[in-house]
Amino acid sequence: MRSWAAPVGLCLLAGSLQLGSLGCAGPGRDPDIVLITLDTTRADRLGCYGSTIAATPHLDRVAEEAILFENAITSVPLTLPSHASILTGLHPPSHGARNNASFRVDDEITTLAERLSARGYHCAAFVSAYVLDHAFGLQQGFAHYDDALGGVERSADETTARAVDYLARQGEQPLFLWVHYFDPHTPWAPPEPFASDTRGSAYDAEISSMDAGLGELLEALRARGRYGDAHLIIVADHGEGLGDHREHEHGIFLYEECLRVPWLWKLPGARRTGREPALVGTVDLVPTLCDLLRLPQDRSLEGASLRALLDGGAPPARAGLYAETMYPYYSYGWSPLEAWREADLKLIAAPEAELYDLSGDPAERMNLRNQRAASAARLRERLRAYRRARGWEAGAPAESGADPALVARLSSLGYVWSGGRGATTDVDSLPDPKRHIRVHEQFELGKLAAQAGRFEEAADHLAETVRAHPDNHAATYFMGLSLVRLGRPAEALPHLERHLSGAPDPNATLLMGDALLQLDRPREARTWYRRHLEEGPQKTLARERIGDALLAEGRYEEAVATYRGLAPQREAASILRKVARVRVRQERFAEAADLFTQAGEASAAAERGYFREWARAARTL
């Protein structure tokens, strides 16, 4: 990472220039900058963008005090690469993060936090998903980077609580605060009351829940005097397919449902508000802040300053905006995609190119590549010229040696990743994702079904994906999970073995133990459970499973000792029930009956009848 010397100089006095005051919060003090990124949030699902489905009152209120960009585009529809572009002002070929999990932001890249910390800002970040873990390089420049999730993600209210607690301990130093919310990303499991009160899908309910958590953060900023004079920037990293082009999530295609994002910018003092139709890119954020704050800029920045636009002037002169996705290549060996976007026209460079006129076809249903061949050729040449000017190599680079343990954890989030994909420049000879989207569609549907506990449906969907790509890391995991939960362990084992041959995965080691236990191979099962104890997060569950294996082996007192050793990590009812079942095996029925009765007393009222029936059955044996 480069170091930047803090520049000498003060903000312009209010009124000396029309826009000069935008960079000042008061005499001699730079304004706070609050960046809130919304993961996987489509613009057309927010109230301020015209939706009547999800409840987004806090975002809508900010929109009334802000400039709302109607036509904002992300550089890439993937969480890590997109956030890297937001925080560096560079496109993925320049900042180095070309995909989730298998790349990281290059250390020599200068982030916004590094620029602001050199200016005297205190920089703090709170992220909500493991895909933004500090191991992937975005922590550069932050004095505080909170990525301690306790799992692979956390909810908006949890992240807000951490950020608000941190805010309460800050002094007068200018603050750059980045808060990332992950809720609308799959798996969708919205909490109440949002699950019941939202008229749309679970995705919309997650957006409502996220908005509520965001509202608490905004209230804390207001209460601490860090709202009115701050730059408040709220932007999504990318959208979500929701089946519009047979992609239910994101990453494969470059259609507008995934590239167009909501973006609100509240200026200090809400100096200017309204809706802005000009084409802008999330890659413009860093150049704009550098311009507003008079930060030194190097010529490598690939976004454009929106300073004049924020003050009601003209948009920046630009030939167009670039976007890409390498995800099809790294997940399936299909062709990567690039896009070149102008105000109305959009080219998607693929083995079978696509051209859309968004002014009359915003849903991108009519490919005009043949009818308007000259326009398609012009946009393709502009895309090539843009690449040449930046010295970007053609094709897809080799993956940069991701830590297999990091990849394994991300597979449980549903990120498709095969691993070990080398470089290629012959992308035009690779399959076009459009022609093979059914394979990915079936994966997405199967993954969503598995995450919702609909394992029969999941196995049916995933069968097509694992036939076509038997070594796909995420597909083999979800297929193995589904078959174990369905009680089909012999079918599950080959998928779990292939999955574990690609990278160690503690989630899969637990499943391997479960499959072997179902196959009445308890000694082998215990080996896998012990392996999970060494490397996995679900240690209490693994110990309980070891007790189950000991019980299956007839090692009753060892099983009882294992179960009783779970307290207080495991609820009392669960432990008592396990011990009672051991006593049934030992034909100690009176003791078993007493234990079942105790389990009933220790459990919730709704379950007491269940345990009473077990106690009654035990007494009659």
DSSP line for 37-101 = EETT--GGGSGGGT-SSS--HHHHHHHHTSEEEEEEE-S-SSHHHHHHHHHHS--HHHHS--STT
Instruction: Name the helix (H) or strand (E) containing 135.
Output: none
DSSP line for 200-219 = S-HHHHHHHHHHHHHHHHHH
What's the pLDDT at 9? 33
Residue ranges, the chain, pLDDT below 50? 1-24, 606
In angstroms, rounded to a whole number, what is the distance separating the alpha carbons of residues 401 and 82?
A: 20
In angstroms, rounded to a whole number, what is the distance separating the alpha carbons of residues 140 and 169?
A: 22
What's the pLDDT at 214? 97
Q: Tell me the CB-side half-sphere exposure of residue 508, using CA atoms within 13 A.
A: 29
| 33-38 sheet: strands from edge to edge | 144-146, 122-126, 175-181, 33-38, 231-236, 260-266, 67-73, 274-281
Write down the pTM of the prediction: 0.86
Q: Are 69 and 265 in contact (CB under 8 A)?
A: yes
Strands (E), 335-485: 337-341, 345-349, 354-357
What's the pLDDT at 199? 83
